[in-house]
Structure 1
Amino acid sequence: MPPSSDPDAPPCQVAPALVDRLLDIRRIYHERDIERFPRARQVLDRFPDAERIEVLSHQVIPGLYGNEGNVGDWVRNKREVLVLGEKKSLAARRNERSSDWIAPSTANGCAMACSYCYVPRRKGYANPITVFTNIEKIIAYLERHALRQGRKPEPNQCDPVDWVYDIGENSDCSVDAMVSDNVRDLVDLFARLPNAKASFATKLVNRDLLGYDPRGGTRVRFSLMPEKTSRLVDIRTSKVADRIAALDDFVEAGYEVHLNLSPVIVHEGWLDDWAQLLDQVADATSERTKAQLAAEIIFLTHNEDLHAVNLGWHPRGEDLLWRPDLQQAKRSQSGQCNVRYKSPWKGRWVQQLTALLADRLPSCRVRYAF
């Protein structure tokens, strides 16, 4: 089944209220001759009134990226700006934590504005959605890559049977699906691959995905944290209660559904808040959903540069995220200055939360925790 990039195909259909809440696209930056891709034409048709601005590269947009003055327009740029480009370098990277492989991105950036998100660190003062329009090439690459792997030789923490490909490392696929059919094409691909499964984490309930036909080939990891913490740092996302309410529906639609308990943010009374959240999940989900649940638990890693950016548009969130009394600096492989919770405190906190999960939601196994 080929990707749905027929030039005569209608644009993706998304609930208008959801689109209106997150997107009001007024400017589309695009690489030269982008309309040679059917997917680009679909997106341009989706937003016909947007100003079109040609740029040399989706990665180099003067006045948008690298412009410190854009911090004050952080959310406005997410709402009003879209970028179209070609994904020129295709490679699946080994991961072996949440997934076996990180798939080549079909999008980058997000219309939501979680203040702890690591993706903006690389862009510089603006982080709107970039859509990669050469979806046919990406799909073909992934299909060849998955088939070359053959059968998975043994179970691992990613999956007991399938090779797992993370298709949303640099974006939220539930949001991407509001802009183009790239996500639908990926779900269709993994529905037919005999030995591979797609996976993505999301903080948005996009019920249009319930109309896809995943046939067990896509794992949706709903990100959860206590509601009062989420209200402060999960900007422009779905309410946590709405995410929990969607779990059964996505299972019934043929998705595998896991929980992404992330990021775990430590503060006074944090463990009591997590107990309440896990009780909510237990009370709201069916036995069928509970039986297939698994969780990954990821404690907060913050970044010095992102902290500085956040102070320019959402300083209240930094009261939770930037805690020098609890955190220690750690230089990343790319040379950035990150902060993580101090050892050995973090180890004890991981044990406390995993024990709490075993008590409040015992059917939910932990795939990994750190």
Structure 2
Amino acid sequence: MDIVTSRPASLLRVKTIYLEPAVAQYARGREILARFPEAERIEVPSHWNIPGLHGNEGLVGEWLRTKRDVLVLGVRKSMSCRPNGRSADWIAPGSSNGCAMACAYCYVPRRKGYANPITVFVNIEQIAEALEKHARKLGPKTEPNQVDPAYWVYDIGENGDLSADALVSDNVRDLVALYRRIPNAKGSFATKYVNRELLDYDPQGKTRIRFSLMPQRAAKVVDVRTSPVAERIAAINDFVDAGYEVHLNFSPVIVYEGWRADYAELFAQVADALSPRARAQIAAEVIFLTHNEALHEVNLGWHPKAEAMLWVPKLQESKRSENGADNVRYRTGLKGKMVAIFKELLEQGLPGCPIRYAF
């Protein structure tokens, strides 16, 4: 299989739309269907259970085609916000699930199984209403924390990449507008895709974009169908100038031969690129790789080269997650040393950049 980095024209080429029966009752649903008029429409009872798509091991060889050609439309039922405390104060009920990109380490496919293309929820008004109501009940943020000194921060893109979602609908534009008007909160999402249409959304400092970065040598293997790392770095100043708060998301940090030198080079690239205005507001979050045994087996069917970098038993130990999944992470004593090395490299290459959290 030819693994390539996708450009905007080829990231999505929607040929098949799976949709819940109620989708066409919503204006956003009708807008999306009109955007892809030639796509085959297949009605399904639930976006969570699509026979032939979810849990279909036979699709592993079609991993990238599914990401590119398939779109799922549904109606979000749960509107609850979950406390977080790391990337955000709260995890918002997302406007989407799944992704057009195909990062080999991504945890989201484990939930639905096999590729998990973009699912867009069309009841965006209900999602926005729930978020506004939640923030109103919280009131002002009276004590600063590592997430943000002044605002409650909501991660609005936990299970997808909103920069890619914006190619499908105006949900992302609506969420940016939502946080522009909520006085005590801001939205936040991590991205590996540079979508310059977002520069026109006028966030007025109330949306934080966390550009995910890793050395290009690793990214060209595991960050499949994403924007090149150099393009992400080059976009930072423009997004700051457009009114976004921009942070750096070093996630996942993958340990391989030469990783220290590669990260030192990456930090130098970022330092050279940042404008004074971008540098003044920058901050970082650092998350070392956690992998999954089931995902490892799936990846062997479509991208074994990535698994040579991600699955390294001599460096890793088993960890049972809260939901019962069999994960692996870097060994405890070793990981502490590697986190310390990473922090030192970042301080040397990008001095004064705050690390909001690292683990």
| Shorter-chain TM band | over 0.9
Aligned twin of 1:190:
179
1:301 aligns with 2:290: yes
1:361 aligns with 2:356: no
CA positional deviation for 1:225? 0.2
Equivalent residues in 2 for 1:120-199 (5 A)? 120-199=109-188
Aligned match for 1:281, one of 249, 259, 270: 270
Aligned twin of 1:118:
107
Measured against aligned partners, the alpha-carbon deviations of 1:237-275 in whole angstroms (never above 9, x if no partner) come to 000000000000000000000000111000111111000
Equivalent residues in 2 for 1:195-210 (5 A)? 195-210=184-199
Partners of 1:355 and 1:195 in 2: how far apart? 34
CA positional deviation for 1:364? 1.1
Q: Do the aligned residues in 1 keep the contact of 2:7 with 2:227 (CA within 8 Å)? A: no
1:228 aligns with 2:238: no
Q: Percent identity?
A: 64
Letter in 2 for 1:109: G
Aligned twin of 1:341:
330
Q: Do the aligned residues in 2 keep the contact of 1:19 with 1:178 (CA within 8 Å)? A: no
Partners of 2:252 and 2:318 in 1: how far apart? 17
Aligned match for 1:291, one of 276, 280, 303: 280
Aligned match for 1:253, one of 220, 235, 242: 242
- Identify the range of structure 1 (219-228 vs 32-41) with the bigger mean alpha-carbon deviation: 32-41
Structure 2 unpaired stretches of 5+: 1-5
1:106 aligns with 2:95: yes
Partners of 2:10 and 2:210 in 1: how far apart? 23
Aligned twin of 2:3:
none
- Tell me the secondary structure at the aligned position of residue 270 of structure 2: helix
Letter in 1 for 2:102: A
CA positional deviation for 1:126? 2.8
Partners of 1:126 and 1:263 in 2: how far apart? 19
Partners of 1:260 and 1:342 in 2: how far apart? 22
Letter in 1 for 2:19: H
Letter in 2 for 1:256: E
Partners of 2:37 and 2:228 in 1: how far apart? 30
Q: Do the aligned residues in 2 keep the contact of 1:29 with 1:82 (CA within 8 Å)? A: yes
Aligned twin of 2:205:
216
- Tell me the secondary structure at the aligned position of residue 267 of structure 2: helix
Q: Do the aligned residues in 2 keep the contact of 1:291 with 1:363 (CA within 8 Å)? A: no
Partners of 1:225 and 1:55 in 2: how far apart? 38
Structure 1 unpaired stretches of 5+: 1-16
Partners of 1:337 and 1:157 in 2: how far apart? 30
Aligned twin of 1:29:
18
Letter in 2 for 1:198: G
1:317 aligns with 2:306: yes
- Tell me the secondary structure at the aligned position of residue 344 of structure 1: helix
- Paired positions, count: 354
Q: Do the aligned residues in 2 keep the contact of 1:175 with 1:204 (CA within 8 Å)? A: yes
Moved over 3 A (4+): none
Aligned match for 1:243, one of 214, 232, 245: 232
Q: Do the aligned residues in 1 keep the contact of 2:22 with 2:75 (CA within 8 Å)? A: no
CA positional deviation for 1:18? 5.2
Letter in 1 for 2:122: T
Partners of 1:22 and 1:28 in 2: how far apart? 16
1:47 aligns with 2:10: no
Partners of 1:255 and 1:178 in 2: how far apart? 19
Q: Do the aligned residues in 2 keep the contact of 1:293 with 1:363 (CA within 8 Å)? A: no
CA positional deviation for 1:359? 1.4
Aligned twin of 1:57:
46
Measured against aligned partners, the alpha-carbon deviations of 1:32-55 in whole angstroms (never above 9, x if no partner) come to 131100000010011000000000
Letter in 2 for 1:159: D
Aligned twin of 2:315:
326
Letter in 2 for 1:317: A
Aligned twin of 1:91:
80
Partners of 1:353 and 1:315 in 2: how far apart? 27
Measured against aligned partners, the alpha-carbon deviations of 1:190-215 in whole angstroms (never above 9, x if no partner) come to 01111101000000000000011100
Partners of 1:336 and 1:150 in 2: how far apart? 36
Partners of 2:293 and 2:142 in 1: how far apart? 41
Measured against aligned partners, the alpha-carbon deviations of 1:309-341 in whole angstroms (never above 9, x if no partner) come to 100000000010000010000010111100000
- Tell me the secondary structure at the aligned position of residue 313 of structure 2: coil
Q: Do the aligned residues in 2 keep the contact of 1:104 with 1:138 (CA within 8 Å)? A: yes
CA positional deviation for 1:66? 1.1
